[in-house]
Amino acid sequence: MNTDYPHILVTNDDGVLAPGLAALAEALKAVGRVSVIAPDRNRSASGHVKTLHRPLRVDETCLANGLPALMTDGAPSDAVALGLMGLVPQPVHLVVAGINRGANVGHDLTYSGTVTAAMEGVIGGVPAFAVSLDVRASASEDYDVAAAFAAYLAHLVLDHGLPPGVLLNVNVPARASTDIQGVKVTRMGIRVYRDVLVTRKDPSGRPYYWIGGDPPTGILAEGTDFAALTQGFISVTPVQMDFTAYGLLGALESWPWDRWRAESDAWK
């Protein structure tokens, strides 16, 4: 891999004006050439999207710190796809998404535009990681520590590489560098969502629904992303795109599949 002067594609899901994106792009300039292509608005929790039924627009803009960027009306994963398909100079050696405002742990990974943007990099054959700042219990929204860690990790990933189909999901506590306990390699934990359905009526009397409630918490199981963050550690989780439940393969094979034709007739 060309690690002399690597080319890094940077995106986020909080939108092109988010301070976390500017901090990330600035920090990664110390590692290599940086190209930014990001959504033109906040696309948090947009999941893994491929926009196929309308055109995608791309415009030149600047980040909050003045760095040049491209912005698109597509989703974060669209932004990565656009970049890898030629809207930024090729080749791209690394995709980095973030720095998200808010942790992405447990099942957040499936909702997160930040993590799914990194997934899009991996699907495109490029090593990738996502970085999020856990701002939940802190008034601090200083991205410097997370940005510096992202630059260090970019260097490590370019050096070591990642297996095909694997990305890293990184979460950084919103603490001063001196208050961070260290780095833990973790597994995906379990979020506890506290969503509440809010029902209201629009001016014409028609109901509408809004998902409200308190922010999610999580199960404090040792070794998980959520536990590490709660204990003040930077969490690094290897995530694979192979969703197969290997533990069930054997048991599932023992189901009576050979009777499918006869049995299916009975269910018509």
- Provide the minimum distance between the beta carbon of 13 and Mn ion in the complex, in angstroms, as a whole number: 4
User: Of the two residues 6 and 114, which places its CB atom closer to Mn ion in the complex?
Assistant: 114
Element spanning 173, H or E: strand 166-173
Q: Mark the segment that binds Mn ion (CB under 5 A) among 5-13, 50-58, 71-79, 149-157.
A: 5-13
User: Of the two residues 17 and 185, which places its CB atom closer to Mn ion in the complex?
Assistant: 17
DSSP string, 182-239: EEEE-B---EEEEEEEEEEE-TTS-EEEEEEEEEEEE---TTBHHHHHHTTEEEEEEE
- Provide the minimum distance between the beta carbon of 114 and Mn ion in the complex, in angstroms, as a whole number: 6
Q: How far apart are CA 60 and CA 68, in angstroms?
A: 7
Residue 189 contacts residue 134 (beta carbons within 8 Å): no
Size of the site for Mn ion (CB under 5 A): 4
User: Of the two residues 32 and 106, which places its CB atom closer to Mn ion in the complex?
Assistant: 106
Residue nearest to Mn ion (CB): 44
Q: How far apart are CA 23 and CA 174, in angstroms?
A: 14
Q: Residue 14, interface with Mn ion (CB under 5 A)?
A: yes
User: Of the two residues 132 and 158, which places its CB atom closer to Mn ion in the complex?
Assistant: 132
Q: Which of residues 91-110 bind Mn ion (CB under 5 A)?
A: 100
* Other CB atoms within 10 A of residue 199 CB: 8
Q: Give the residue, chosen from 35, 44, 46, 224, that forms a contact with Mn ion under the rule CB under 5 A.
A: 44
Question: What is the rounded radius of gyration, in angstroms, for the C-alpha atoms of the chain?
Answer: 20
Q: Residue 186, interface with Mn ion (CB under 5 A)?
A: no
Q: Residue 13, interface with Mn ion (CB under 5 A)?
A: yes
Q: Residue 134, interface with Mn ion (CB under 5 A)?
A: no
Residue 130 contacts residue 104 (beta carbons within 8 Å): yes
How far, in Å, are 87, 89, 223 from residue 115 at the CA level? 21, 23, 20
Q: Which of residues 23-42 bind Mn ion (CB under 5 A)?
A: none
Q: Which of residues 51-90 bind Mn ion (CB under 5 A)?
A: none
User: Of the two residues 32 and 149, which places its CB atom closer to Mn ion in the complex?
Assistant: 149
Q: Which amino acid is at 238?
A: P
Burial (CB < 10 A; 0-12, 13-18, 19+), residue 23, is buried
- Provide the minimum distance between the beta carbon of 76 and Mn ion in the complex, in angstroms, as a whole number: 9
- Beta pairing class for 233-240 and 166-173: antiparallel
User: Of the two residues 100 and 235, which places its CB atom closer to Mn ion in the complex?
Assistant: 100
Q: Which amino acid is at 241?
A: M
User: Of the two residues 32 and 171, which places its CB atom closer to Mn ion in the complex?
Assistant: 171
Interface residues with Mn ion (CB under 5 A) are: 13-14, 44, 100
